[in-house]
Structure 1
Amino acid sequence: MHEPEFQPPVNPLPPAVILLFLAIAGVEAGLSLAEAGLIGGPGAIGWRLALIRDYGFSGQIFDLMVQHGKWPLQELLRLITYPFIHLGFTHGIFAMVLLLALGKMVAEAMGQVAFLVIFFISGIGGAVIYALLLNDPVWLAGAYPPVYGLIGGYSFVMWRQLAGRGAEQYRAFTLIALLMGLQLFWGIFFEVGTLWVAELAGFICGFGLSFLFAPGEWARLRERLQRR
């Protein structure tokens, strides 16, 4: 007799998604425990602000680097480190939930290397565009710009699938339209700031990168080049 194969009730997450999630969750867990007074002593309550100061992204600092043409490595690393520090527990939880859901879909559709490239390049692109377009003193912190890049990747996959079925392709952008609509609605009642610029830029970066990583895109590109 053959033993029945075990089928997990939930498809396992790709390792790259798990690693990124654990890195973000680990930082947030440490900061939340410190703020609750469970670790670090009285001085630990300031750890979050200190991490944002040391590893968050400042558009004004970036503008100074552009102005003077100097690119210290310590400052450039902020483009990679700012997504791992959040403004609070709730801010971090929502980012991690989106990372797990969208990261799984993008990694399974395009591969784990593509997932990592989209995550980090969208984070970098979102921050750079935020700095170049605005002169906002508010520092960037949190994984939302790279997560919006994953939304861009997911939207691209949906866009191609809808095109293949002859369906209306605009439906692929329902998620980003909903999220931007919620930002607008929320802004009517509360001050939401300009961080949405980095998030939207992250989405555009993720969507654009998908032309390189989505299945079949290289073949389509070769076809177009051959026709010319």
Structure 2
Amino acid sequence: MRDDPSPLNPLPPVVVVLFLVIAGVEAAFSLGARGIIGGADAVGWRSAAIQDYGFHGQILRWMVDTGQVPAEHLRRLVTYAFVHGSFTHAVFAAVLLLALGKFLGEVFRHWAVLVIFVTATVGGALAYGMLPGQHGWLIGAFPGVYGMIGGFTYVMWLRLGQLGANQARAFTLIGVLMGLQLVFALLFDGAPTWVADVAGFLAGFAVSVPLSPGGLARLRARLRHD
């Protein structure tokens, strides 16, 4: 007789690793800022990390204009996701990462969850970098997390279609989140990082199609049924 499956599905290892990196980096920044580790120089660790690992549109434009893609700048397309502006910023990103990672890990292969996160992270940076004008640094895991929301949305879109329900409901979560983003942007006049989040969502949704079980064949079957 087969053992009953555990009601508690473990998190995908890749999600655990991403969480530990985010948590470890933020712990170093927070403890350093309080003088607990690193001595006097630790107070500036966060600012230095933003300069060294954050992403900026001017860097992308410089690479496009000169045709040069040095590794130290190319890596920024991913490393910016692990540097956050504050403890709260990091906590919100980490909590969403764990929640969405657990859901996606029950549907996608574990390596596919990582592909969704990285694709959305890179896509978000590229979209942000192509914005006209001068904008601040792009940091934090939210474009990658929004990519995972894109994967979640695609799964829900398929499931609602199978149930014969209104598939537009699958986009409720992203609609609410983007509405809040726009309100905050208008109230606080911050950098348009919401563009990176939207691009991350779209990239995550798109790459979820071939990565999901059944892939494109399942999508075609769903569209033919509609």
Please confirm whether the aligned pair reaches a TM-score higher than 0.5, indicating the same fold: yes
Aligned-pair distance for 1:222? 7.9
Q: Deviations over 1:7-34 (max 9, x none)?
A: 56x4321211111100111101111100
Aligned-pair distance for 1:195? 0.4
Aligned to 1:104: 102
Q: Distance in 1 between matches of 2:156 and 2:35?
A: 45
Aligned to 1:190: 188
Aligned-pair distance for 1:179? 0.5
Q: Deviations over 1:87-136 (max 9, x none)?
A: 01000000000000011111221111110001011100110011113333
Q: Distance in 1 between matches of 2:186 and 2:18?
A: 34
Q: Which runs of 4+ in 1 moved over 4 A?
A: 4-8, 221-224
Aligned partner of residue 37 in structure 1, secondary structure: coil
Aligned to 2:113: 115
For the Cα contact (< 8 Å) 1:28–1:89, is it kept in 2? Answer: yes
Stretch deviating more after TM superposition (47-56 or 13-22)? 13-22
User: 2:176 pairs with 173, 178, 183, which one?
Assistant: 178
Task: Please say if 1:124 is aligned against 2:126.
Answer: no
Aligned to 2:157: 159
User: 2:78 pairs with 77, 80, 93, which one?
Assistant: 80
Number of equivalenced pairs: 221
**TM-score in terms of structure 2 length:** 0.92
Aligned partner of residue 205 in structure 1, secondary structure: helix
Aligned partner of residue 47 in structure 1, secondary structure: helix
Stretch deviating more after TM superposition (209-218 or 163-172)? 209-218
Q: Deviations over 1:73-92 (max 9, x none)?
A: 11101111110110010000
Stretch deviating more after TM superposition (123-132 or 215-224)? 215-224
Aligned to 2:43: 45
Aligned partner of residue 109 in structure 1, secondary structure: coil
User: 2:59 pairs with 58, 61, 66, which one?
Assistant: 61
Q: Distance in 1 between matches of 2:166 and 2:172?
A: 11
What's the % identity of the aligned pairs?
Answer: 53
List alignment gaps of at least 5 residues for structure 1: none
Q: What amino acid maps onto 1:18 in structure 2? A: V
Q: Deviations over 1:29-50 (max 9, x none)?
A: 1111001110111111100000
Aligned partner of residue 106 in structure 2, secondary structure: helix
